[in-house]
């Protein structure tokens, strides 16, 4: 069985790491390059950086940050935010990113997934999905969770997989920042339905939440932000507890 991955996520705005609750009320959480170096030393398996207010003007800032991060760490990292064409992805991968993450651009133009997979390979393409429970369904949202779509979450994830997504980063907006645990019911449904790795995101507040998400859903990776940024959970302690629970980690 493949080892489960622990992935700190760094939401980046204006060159700084920020964190909020349910995608709002953002506050500063530190320098992304320093945090990246610290997480790699702690034993994180991968990192994800999301430029949450991406614009083309800030693309240069992100490229410089990617170069700085690549110089500091020796673990894989993914960059997302504002990637709308092949040239954007190419620039970030050339600067040192290992994978790119697309979200709104993929929903608006599903063929973009096919293009990226063809240009760079499936293993480089992460499709991020922000979902919120709405009535009787889980609905995909865009633009940092601000805009609901017509797409049902599982249907969209299956389409993304068929088009060449190599991995799904699934964030429950209902759980995001609440520290009340991952959305294990939804994660299990999705993980059972696809043949590509699923990264759980949204709701981590304790070591037990990581134990639960791996035991109850069998996802490939669990991602969190604030509990790592503010030192509430240290990655060596987390991995030690996961091993005690017979969960295979690196």
* Residue where the block lists tokens 């293993």: 123
Centre a 10 Å sphere on the Cβ of residue 80 and count the other Cβ atoms it contains.
27
For residue 14, indicate whether it is catalytic. no
Q: Name the catalytic one among 11, 45, 88, 176.
A: 11
- The beta strand positions in the chain, using DSSP E, are 5-13, 16-21, 24-30, 47-51, 77-80, 99-102, 125-134, 137-142, 147-152, 167-172, 198-201, 221-224
**Residue 140, CA distances (Å) to 157, 158, 194, 214 in order:** 10, 13, 17, 23
For residue 11, indicate whether it is catalytic. yes
DSSP category for residue 3: P
What is the number of residues in the chain?
250
The span from the CA of 86 to the CA of 135, in Å, is 36
Q: Name the catalytic one among 51, 130, 176, 220.
A: 130
Is 207 within 8 Å of 237 (Cβ atoms)?
A: yes
SS3 category, 70: helix
Tally helices (H) and strands (E) across the chain.
10, 12
List residues with catalytic annotation.
11, 130
């Amino acid at each position: 069985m493949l080892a489960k991955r622990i992935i700190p996520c760094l939401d980046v705005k204006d060159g700084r790491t920020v964190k909020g609750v349910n995608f709002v009320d953002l506050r500063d959480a530190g320098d992304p390059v320093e945090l990246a170096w610290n997480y790699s030393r702690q034993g994180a398996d991968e990192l994800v950086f999301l430029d949450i207010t991406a614009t083309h003007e800030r693309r240069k800032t992100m490229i410089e940050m990617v170069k700085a991060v690549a110089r500091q760490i020796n673990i894989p990292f993914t960059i997302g935010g504002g990637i709308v064409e092949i040239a954007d992805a190419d620039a970030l991968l050339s600067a040192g990113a290992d994978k790119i993450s697309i979200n709104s651009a993929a929903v608006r133009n599903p063929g973009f997934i096919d293009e990226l997979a063809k240009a760079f390979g499936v293993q480089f393409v992460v499709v991020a999905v922000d979902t919120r429970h709405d009535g009787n369904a889980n609905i995909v949202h865009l633009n940092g969770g601000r805009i609901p779509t017509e797409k049902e979450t599982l249907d969209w994830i299956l389409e993304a997989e068929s088009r060449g997504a190599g991995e799904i980063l699934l964030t429950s907006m209902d759980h995001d920042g609440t520290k009340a645990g991952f959305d294990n019911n939804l994660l299990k449904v999705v993980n059972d339905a696809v043949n590509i790795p699923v990264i759980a995101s949204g709701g981590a507040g304790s070591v037990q939440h990581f134990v639960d998400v791996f035991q109850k859903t069998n996802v490939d990776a669990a991602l969190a932000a604030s509990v790592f940024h503010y030192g509430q959970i240290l990655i060596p302690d987390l991995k030690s507890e996961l091993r005690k629970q017979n969960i295979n980690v690196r």
